[in-house]
Structures are given as C-alpha cells and as structure tokens.
Amino acid sequence: MEEILEIYKTTTTEEVTVWFKAAKISDFPKNGGACIKYKEKQIAVFNFERKNMWYACQNVCPHKMEMVLSRGMTGDHQGTPKIACPMHKKTFSLENGKNLNGDLAPIATYPVKLEGDNVYVGFAE
Amino acid sequence: MKKVVIIGNGMVGYKFCEKFVASERFNEYKLTVFGEEPRRAYDRVHLSEYYAGKTAEDLSMSSATWYEENNIDLHTSEMITEINRIEKTVANHRGTKYEYDYLIFATGSSAFVPPIPGVEKEGVFVYRTIEDLEATEAYAKKLKAAGKTEAAVLGGGLLGLEAANAVKNLGLNAHVIEFAPRLMPRQLDKGASDMLQSKIEELGLQVHLSKQTQYIQGDKSIEGLQYIDETELKVDMLVVSAGIRPRDEVARECGLEVGTRGGIIVNQKMQTSDSNIYAIGECALLNNMIYGLVAPGYDMAEIALNQITGGDNTMPEYIDMSTQLKLIGTEVASFGDALNEAKEDIDEITYVNKRTGIYKRINVAKNGKKLLGGILVGDSSDYNALFQIYNTAMKLPENPEDLILGSRGGDNGSLLGDVMDLPDEAQICSCESVTKGQICGAIQNGEAKDLADVVSCTKAGTGCGGCKPMVKDLTDATLKSLGIEVKDNVCEHFDYNRQELYDIIQIKGYTSFDEILDKKGNGGHGCELCKPLIASLMATIHADTANKEYVIQDSNDRFLANIQRNGTYSVVPRIAGGELTPQQLIDLGEIGKKYDLYTKITGGQRIDFFGATLNQLPKIWKDLIDKGFESGHAYGKSLRTVKSCVGSTWCRYGMDESVSFAIELENRYRGMRSPHKIKGGVSGCIRECAEARGKDFGVIAVEGGWNLYVGGNGGATPRHAELLAEQIDNETVIKYIDRFLMFYMRTAKPLQRTAAWLDRLEGGIEHLKEVVINDKLGIAADLDTEMNTLVNKFECEWKQAIEDPETMKRFSHFVNSDEDDDNLVFVPLRDQKMPEHWK
C-alpha cells in the first residue's frame, strides 16, 4: 500500500514547474475543502477564507491510506492551520504536513495560487 | 561514551531503550540494538488484533524514525551468534564484531512445542511473531478455499486463548485443547474457568478440557488429533500455544549460568553470572522463575538501567503477577494469590451470576482484615480498586463481601471511597509502575497542569490503559486540592464549556460559527472539536438541519451518511419502530441491488446499505425518497431509532401497543440534534423484548399504563435505565421524555450520552424526577416550548439536499472531474462485497 504515498512529494513554490488550473474559486467551500484530480494524483485543496489563505496537500491519509483528507474538517492549532482526517481525527499541519497529534509520517503539501476566478495548484515534474 | 549493546528488539528490549532515552545520563552512552525479526519492536500482547485489521505498523511500539532520532543503532534481521566475554565483543551471523561495555540480553522466548509425534506435519503452526501469523493466515486461506474449516489451538492458557481468537478472526471454527481440567489453569479456579468457557462458547469457540494429545493424525498434512483417552478430534490446522521457552542459547554458549530448565540466571540486580552482562524479560530466570508477563519485564528493564547508570535499585523478592485483560470479548482479571497457592487459612467469598456471566472471587484472611487475592470474570471494572486494596493491605469493610457485591445500602460510593485516601506508594499504573505519589507529585511540583501532562510526564495509563479512570480522578482531585479550577473548556478556541456556549448562543441569538468565533472566541479559526459542537448547539437551539452550515459539521453530518473503512459511506433510511411493509422491503432490495450495496440489518431494527461512493449518495437518496423513505439520521448525534417488540397487536402476552407507540416517539424526536446519539425502546410487557432499559429512554407496558426509564446504555459500559415514573399514560410519557431530553441537551458535556450524564448529575435520578415531574427549577414550561419548536420544525435533510443544486455540489469526489475515487478496492464476501483489508 505504501506505494500510493510515493507519488506525493512536498513541493515548494520555488520548485513549481507546472501550475495546474484546478477549478474555480466558487467550486470550493468557504472554510472547508474539496478534492481535485491531477493526472494520477488526488489533491485536497482548502480555502481558509477567514485568513484569506489557501492550502493543498495529498488527499490520502497516511494512517490508513484512504483518499479522505479533503472531506476532513479544517481548523488551527495554536495558529498553525490544520486538517483533521474524517476517519480517526488524525490532524496534520497544512504548513509543513507534520502529524500534530501522533507520529505518523508527514503528508505532502503543495502551493496554491489564485488568478482571476481560478485556483491553481503547483507541481514539480 | 560507554557502549551498551542490546540483543533483542521485543517489547522489553524496546522499553529498556525508551527508559534509557528518558534517563538523565543518556548522553553518556551509545546504544546498539540487534533484532532478528525484520520489523521494529511491536506489541506482541495485542497480536491477535493483526487479524482484526490492525497493521504491523499499528502494532509497532515506536515510530519509524524513533531510533534514528535518538541516535540508537537498530539492526533488524540481524542475529547475534557469538559473544566473547574477554574481548567484550558480540558477533552477528556474518561474523561482524561489535564492542560493548554493557551487554543486555532481551532475547525473550520462543514458543514451546511439546514433543508430540507429528508436530512436523504441514498445517501445524506456532503463535509468536507476525511472520507466524502471516504463515497461519496463508494456510487458513488455502483451507477455506478447499472448504475446510476446523482449526485447533493446543493450550488453553492466556496465549492459547488469544491464539484461538486469532484463528476465529480468520473465519475458521476454533477448538481450544487444554491438558488441565480448566482454562487458564495458572490464573483461574474451576468456577472462573467454567464462566469463561460458557462465555467463549457463546461466541462459537469450542473448548475441550482434560485432553492429552498422543499424536497428530494425517499423512503429509494434519488431519486430526488423537488423544490418549482414545477419542479424537478431526481438524485441518493446529496452532501450538503450550507455553514458552526462554531464548538462552547464545548465553549458554558463552558460558553464562543458565537454569536446568532454561533461562539466564540473574540476581536481584538483573545481572547474570558476568557482572557486565544483564538479562531482562522472558529470557531471564529470576528467583528461579520465568515471568511471562510484560509488566515484570518492564520492571526488570528499569532495574537493569538503574544499575548500569550507577544506581542501586533491585527487583523485589516477590513479583506481582496480577493481570487484567479482555479475552475474546470477556473481561478477565486475577490478582494476588488468586488460587491460594500459599495455602493460607482463608475465607473464600464467591459470587456467581450465570445470567449475566459474571464470576467474582476474593480470598480474605481468616481474621477478615486483609485481602489476599481474587479473580474476576465477565466484569473486571472493580479490578483497580480491589488491586489497590490488596496491594496496599488496606483495611477491609466490616462485611468483606461488599467488595464484590457492592454496598447494598443504596449509596453508590466507590469501593475505595476517596482515591486521595490511598497511600502515596500505592501503585496506580502497574504497566509503567507509577505510584499515586508520582502522579500527584507531578501536579504539585508544577510539572503537569492537566491530565494530558500527567500522562506524558509519568507515562501512567500508556500501557493497557486500565488505570486511566483512576489517573483522571487523582489528577482532578489534586488540582482541586491546589485550588486550581478544573475548567472543561471545549478546546483552545473558546474559554467556555458546552453549557456556557449553549446559554451564550441562546441569549445572543448567534446564527453562524464565524459570528460566535469572532465575538466569543480566542482569536483562532476553530477546530474539529468546537466546530461540530457549535453546529450541534445551533441545531438544537434554532432547529437547523445539518445543511445550514455544512463546513462546520462533523464529517458524517457534512455528507449526511456514515463514513466507513475505505472512505465510502453507508445509507440508512428511517424505518420507524422497525415496521415496514413487504412492498417497502422489496423497494429497499431493488435499490440495494441497483447500486450493488452490501446490505445488513442493524441493531436498531433497520436496514443498512454499505459501499456507496460520495457521487452515488444523492442518486440513492433520490430513489429512496421517491419510494417514500426519509433520512434515518444514522450519521448524526441525534435520535437513531426507537426499537419495539411487536406488543399487544400480535403478541399473546402484550399489555399495550408497543409498535404504535414506538413509531409515534421515533417520529416525534427524529432529526433532533443532541450532545450524543440517542436511542429509545418500547416493550409491550415486562419480558422486555425491545431491550428498552438498555436505551437512553425506555418505555415498558405494565398494568395501568407505562413505566418510563431513562439513562440506559449498552456499549462498553452497559447501564440499565432508571425508573423515572410509573404507570403513566401516553401523553405523560411524551411530556416527561420531552423534558428529560431537553434538560439533557441543555446541560450535558460534549459527546456525553444520557447514561454518563445521569451518573454525574448531582442528586441523580431523584433530582431528575424533581426537575421533570415536579418542576423544581421552574424551567418545565421552557423545556416544553423548546421541544415543541424542534418537533414542529422537522424537515428531512436529504430531501432538502437533493432539491437544492448548490447542496448537490458537495457530493462529488472531485471538483474538477465526474470520476469516482479510483483508489477503492472491493473483495467478495458471502455473495456480497466488502472493502479490501487494511494493510
């Protein structure tokens, strides 16, 4: 099962080679998330409207390898934006992917940018 | 830097490293660990959970990076085969040498296989490592494919029963074969064994006692067991779990002293016959005994560490072997001298209840002053208290039988009285050897501020977890004694508890999460604790459905369905009171077939469809609604079902129409959001076929009306509902349930069921009667109005959802594609399907 994780690698804005036009801003719930498909990848994208920030990460939760993080609940832990997995409430920082309430492997995060009405997610490949 | 080499990476070997890392002088030492298994140390105690879906990673004692982070060299799949005590080196199987200053044997034990002719046959396994489990699993699959189903476990001890559970989890018929005339002969007496036997036989396991196997039948592979008494048992597989044998072969070869029946001889310092070499855990022979439990193993690790780092702690002469565990769903505990092996002059007090499956025994000194030991089967909730009384030699009550029967005078005080009365040296957590003094001390010296701190700095409660309630009580009591208010704030985002937030929302009339967060929050953005809580409060106060502000709903409420193991959902339409017509049953069948859903009857008399993808949910619900069904709110913290027996409409014993009344009650409270789920039941007579007293509210027909019970629960802590009112009519039942539920919804803690709420309600049921029946608080009229608003404003939220195109956008796996999750894998199961096992 671990091979699912291999295609997800944290990408910084500097490393981006492809800005993928994912969907319209209005396709994403405010202060919540939705999932996008990019090639064989499933990416969860979150709109932190209250902070005016967007985050993206792998949709697969490293705990049980299910494609569910986009359906989780967003929030913050002492100021760090986080996502809570809907399966077992494992929480991950959306800034560095670190598991905040356990010692699971970190999740891969990706940069997000907005242009016009559209949401773009950055990949390095 | 001194070099410490540890041979063996099992639970005790790992614990030694963990304790070393936490010690003050860790930076003066370099640790190197050798393990012959391919994996990092894992929790062998819970091995049978591997078949129940836990992965090797779940069972692991540490994270993948733990050893590296702590600069410990871990060599897995590497066997130490030679030790040179003069050069102070060890060599692995490839001949590579490593130097040591101190050497630790934590080699554990291997399964003992008795020399029965035929044990070498195919289909005979041992139960020890994950590799053993994998081999057993593979063979079981082969058997099942060939239509073979019978598997035996040789050994009815603790491990044997665990193995039998594992075999059962593989889908085979499990037989337990024990040489002694009782199960767990080292811990249980005959009465306890009988009770345990009847409990596990209820689950389909078969127990064969006083059976000695002469040889194993079969040519190449096993076909059966031939007993000495000339009877036989035909089986297709055998798992041997007949005891352990210490792994002492390398120690023996390098000239360390070993016992005649195996085990590396150590003194009270855990030192072997070579003062630079220690042995801990199941490979060590201490007091001429092998201790096959994890708690003494951890103590040995602690002593060895203390000795190496210059301390002078030693193992006590007497080592406690008390245990508390859950075996095949049955709680079993034994403590002290449970079987009176010391042959003291004792009074034995036993309580046997075959109806509830409970057996309790205590051994009390003849003078009635001291508890010497005991056994609990079926209900071990008093284990902690009894163990403390035994371990600290506390004075016994005037009638020692109160210890197992409870004080029958009506006050429900705990066995121990006040936890703070325990002496400081009382051991609270036996897995990690944490005393009351350490727990209270951590708070008193400022190291810990709350329960989470206490757990992380003392490690109390991190082993089996059985002591957690006591750790919490001690923490709360200590904080209180220091004048620190124990504030039950909902999370870091609000300085309020649930009831305070309830009042704030009601008085201020807030209608959105952001509004509450901005006006009353601590400046953050919310989290998975406060969001669903506030969603639930607003639903109760404003009679909203979960569609109102869906991003703050818990995942199940957000998608109006229950998320299941592979991220697909289950769908449960309401079948009020469990009544449905043949046509409705056909309609449900057609819909299940159309979407290829796994179908099962629930415990609440409804039908559950599993395996629906996000994209399918609205389609399925449109079909259901077209056929006249509505949401069953199985996903919500809300009313689930009101279960009924058939009642006087059909039953010849029925006193009243339980089905009609159950339907009326279910339809009255449907959709209502509450602190936790709520279940109801209505029985037509005192035979109680609807199990109403196991529900949050239960109604039972009696001569002259209905009896109303509240605060019942099944689940992990079963509790019978308590009588609120007797012989009342339908209208009064509804009035009282209205007030009871509304009062509960106003005052409960987050995720607190009515049972726990009633337990902690000051004044208990008597106070509740005063509020609900006599309106002591003068709030009955408000409660009535609030409940009526909820009842009148009910709307099916699935109907709302499928009629609104904006809401429908929520139900797609991708926002940029119509495809479904491509990660889903289903496997066949008894003519239906199920998700692939978690790896």
- The separation between the first and the last C-alpha atoms of chain B, rounded to the nearest angstrom, is 41
Q: Has B645 been labeled as part of a binding site?
A: yes
Query: Could you tell me which chain B residue has the CA closest to the CA of A48?
Result: B525
Q: Give residue B568's pLDDT.
A: 92
Nearest to A103 among B63, B567, B819 (CB): B63
Distances (CA, A) of B278 to B196, B269, B273, B834: 39, 8, 9, 50
Domain ranges in chain A are 3-119
Chain A nearest CA to B525, separation (Å): 6
Chain A CB contacts of B514 under 8 Å are 31, 50
Q: Where exactly does CATH 3.30.390.30 map onto chain B?
A: 322-408
Q: Is B465 exposed, middle or buried (0-12, 13-18, 19+ CB in 10 A)?
A: exposed
Chain A to chain B Cβ contacts (< 8 Å) = 107
Task: Determine contact, residues A69/A83, Cβ cutoff 8 Å.
Answer: yes
Q: Where exactly does CATH 1.10.10.1100 map onto chain B?
A: 420-486
Contact (CB<8Å) A75/B567: no
Which segments of chain B have a pLDDT < 50?
409-413
Nearest CA among B383, B388, B382, B379 for reference residue B352? B379
Q: Give residue B413's pLDDT.
A: 44
Give bridge partners of residue B277 from the DSSP assignment: B103
CATH fold of the domain at A3-119: Rieske Iron-sulfur Protein (2.102.10)
Contact (CB<8Å) B816/A23: yes
Task: Determine contact, residues B618/B631, Cβ cutoff 8 Å.
Answer: no
Q: Has B689 been labeled as part of a binding site?
A: yes
Is domain B124-242 classified as CATH 1.10.240.10?
Answer: no
Chain B CB contacts of A67 under 8 Å are 567, 813, 821, 823
Classified as helix, coil or strand, B781 is helix
Contact (CB<8Å) B555/A86: yes
DSSP letter string over B728-769?
E-HHHHHHHHHHHHHHHHHHPPTT--HHHHHHHSTTHHHHHH
Q: Give residue A83's pLDDT.
A: 94
CATH fold of the domain at B2-110+246-308: FAD/NAD(P)-binding domain (3.50.50)
Q: Give residue B473's pLDDT.
A: 83
Q: Give residue A125's pLDDT.
A: 78
Query: Could you tell me which chain B residue has the CA closest to the CA of A28?
Result: B815
pTM above 0.95, yes or no: no
Is domain B420-486 classified as CATH 1.10.10.1100?
Answer: yes
Task: Determine contact, residues B512/B544, Cβ cutoff 8 Å.
Answer: no
Contact (CB<8Å) B551/A37: no
Nearest CA among B433, B441, B447 for reference residue B478? B441
Distances (CA, A) of B595 to B349, B617, B620: 59, 10, 8
Question: What band does A2 get if pLDDT is binned at 50, 70 and 90?
Answer: low
Query: Could you tell me which chain B residue has the CA closest to the CA of A88?
Result: B565
Q: Give residue B124's pLDDT.
A: 95
Contact (CB<8Å) A71/B526: no
Q: Give residue B64's pLDDT.
A: 82
Average pLDDT value for residue range A14-43: 91
Strands B237-240 and B150-154, bridge-based pairing = parallel
Nearest to A71 among B493, B517, B555 (CB): B555
Is domain B322-408 classified as CATH 3.30.390.30?
Answer: yes
Query: Could you tell me which chain B residue has the CA closest to the CA of A85?
Result: B555
Nearest to A79 among B64, B524, B558 (CB): B524
Tell me the residues of A at the B interface, defined by beta carbons under 8 Å apart.
Answer: 1, 4, 22-23, 27-32, 34-37, 42, 48, 50-51, 60, 64-68, 71-79, 81-82, 84, 86-87, 89, 91, 103-105
Kindly report the backbone phi and psi dihedral angles of residue B348, in degrees, each rounded to the nearest multiple of 5, phi listed first.
-100, 125
- What per-residue string of b and e applies to A90-110 under the rule 16 or more CB within 10 Å gives b? bbbbbeebbbeeeebbebbbb
Classified as helix, coil or strand, B495 is coil
Compute the radius of gyration of chain B from its Cα atoms.
30
Tell me the two tokens of residue B553: 């709903």
Chain B CB contacts of A68 under 8 Å are 563, 567
Contact (CB<8Å) A48/B525: yes
Tell me the two tokens of residue B3: 């070099």
Contacts of A6 (CB under 8 A, 6+ apart): none
Model pLDDT for residues B452-502, shown as the tens digit of each residue: 788 888 888 776 666 777 888 888 888 888 877 666 788 889 888 888 888
Q: Give residue B17's pLDDT.
A: 96
Options 3.40.50.170, 3.30.413.10, 1.10.260.40, 3.30.930.10; CATH for B636-808 is 3.30.413.10
Model pLDDT for residues B301-326, shown as the tens digit of each residue: 999 999 999 999 999 888 888 888 77
Chain A nearest CA to B619, separation (Å): 19
Q: Give residue B541's pLDDT.
A: 87
Q: Give residue B59's pLDDT.
A: 85
CATH fold of the domain at B565-633: Sulfite Reductase Hemoprotein; domain 2 (3.90.480)
Chain A CB contacts of B819 under 8 Å are 37
Q: Where exactly does CATH 3.50.50.60 map onto chain B?
A: 2-110+246-308, 124-242
